[in-house]
A and B are shown apart, each in its own frame.
Chain A
Amino acid sequence: MNATDEAIVRATQAGLPLVPEPWRAVARAAGVSQDELLARVSAMLADGRMRRIGAVPNHYALGYTANAMTVWDVDDEAVDELGEQVGALAFVSHCYRRPRRLPAWPYNLFAMVHGRSRAETEVRMAEIRAVLGAALRASDVLYSTRILKKTGLRLA
């Protein structure tokens, strides 16, 4: 990443300034013209370094209190194909394969499910279980009970 892009990330990682011309303010902070800034931001959106630009809601404030990290022990040969299918479910917001840490941690597939009640989340877990079928060996669910820290990305 070049120095301009890095300066843009630094200038926006805490959020955009809430002023009528926020991009001009960011451009000034990054030491570039507004046109250059907008071109760099477009490029970062296009290549995925920037996922999107907008409002980031607090799950809890919206009533999404049953935020479950569902974890699954899935056969290694099947996990990538099934992971794609789990990720495609509309109610799954993030889906990753991660390493097992045996014996403490046997799960290799993680799917985040956000629901307004535990009952809703349980129904969704049953749908995931149906997708995983015979490749599933064990599963667990971890509900979040408290945000201990939430600062977003910070470049050191």
Chain B
Amino acid sequence: MDELERAIINRLQGGFPLAARPFAAAAAELGTDEATLIEKLRAMLASGTLTRFGPMYDAERLGGAFTLCAMSVPADDLERVVALVNAHAEVAHNYERAHRFNVWFVLATAARAQIPQVIAAIEGETGYRVLDLPREQEYFIDLRLSA
């Protein structure tokens, strides 16, 4: 990772300017120029160093509904189940975890009433139970990784 990539990760996880030429303004703070910054962001997205660049939304505050789901799936059936789960557009992200409950995904829907419908569909398609674990209280949220 070069110095500019490190600076982008350490200093550009938030605060992107609300200006006519925001990349130029951000580039000046990072000691580079607009075209170089844009090209670097493009490369970091293409290589997978960044998963995205832009606004991060709070799904619940947008008025949508949100829940964390867990499934316990045998290893020899995992790929089939993951394909069925991921096929739902409401599945925002999905992680495999080393645990009896090995499939963990987030559902994001426009309305609360859709959550049990999607869960029922996934249970029906896969044949496995889905634990519905909505957040009841948020204590803190601010993920800033350093490179």
Contacts and interface: CB of A to CB of B under 8 A. Distances in A.
Q: Do A and B actually bind?
A: yes
A131 to B, nearest CB: 12
B50 A57 contact: yes
Nearest to B144: A93
A92 B141 CA distance: 8
Given A20-B24, A56-B56, A114-B145, A140 B134 contact: no
A69 B99 CA distance: 11
B28 interface: no
A18 B86 CA distance: 28
A76 B122 CA distance: 31
A13 to B, nearest CB: 7
A114 B141 CA distance: 13
A69 B24 CA distance: 38
Interface of A: 1, 9, 12-16, 18-24, 34, 38, 41-42, 44, 47-59, 61-62, 64, 69, 80, 83-84, 86-88, 92-99, 101, 104-105, 110, 112, 114, 140, 142-156
Interface string B79-112: 0001001100111111111110101110011100
Interface of B: 8-9, 12-16, 18-24, 34, 38, 41-42, 44-45, 47-59, 61-64, 68, 70, 72, 82, 85-86, 89-99, 101, 103-105, 108-110, 114, 129, 131-147
A142 B54 CA distance: 29
Contacts of A87: 139-140
A23 B19 CA distance: 8
A69 B18 contact: no
Contacts of B42: 18
A75 B2 CA distance: 47
